[in-house]
Amino acid sequence: MSIRFLWFYLAKALMKVNTQDKELINLAQKLIKKRKGRYSTVAAAFRTTDHKFFFGVNVEHIHSSPCSMCAEYSAIGQMQSDDDYEVELIVALRADGTILSPCGKCREMLRQFGNPYVILKEKNDFFKVRLDKLIPYRELNK
């Protein structure tokens, strides 16, 4: 697939975020801005189909990147601890407001918990897109 095709494919799937979606972005920003630890630079926030919120931060391992844990994994753990399983919306961001798209490992893991919208940012506009549009040829077919 060419980059041009990928952009066209994704652009058709992008949706504007609403006020409730922006609330999730604000909650994630508050979480990562209050962090004092030096091993966490990313926050993830989930809203489930039961309208519950779950949060997580990444944990970086200083000597071994593969041993680090993404913020999404941390939020999944919190969600599982509360016996909730269906994610509706997700955002991951840095303290400076940079929105991050989930890595491939997180995309595969998140697909076990529904087909949530993922918040993205293009220039100064927020958008959301279904996870299956970011990972169309996923390993897990459900």
Name which of 48 and 74 has its Cβ closer to Zn ion.
74
First to last CA, the chain: 24
Name which of 23 and 130 has its Cβ closer to Zn ion.
130
**Least distance from C-beta 93 to Zn ion, angstroms?**
13
**Least distance from C-beta 76 to Zn ion, angstroms?**
10
Nearest to 130 by CA among 107, 97, 106: 107
Name which of 18 and 68 has its Cβ closer to Zn ion.
68
**Least distance from C-beta 89 to Zn ion, angstroms?**
17
Binding site for Zn ion (CB under 5 A): 70, 103, 106
- What residues contact 93, with CB distance under 8 A and at least 6 apart? 25, 28, 29, 32, 42, 43, 99, 100
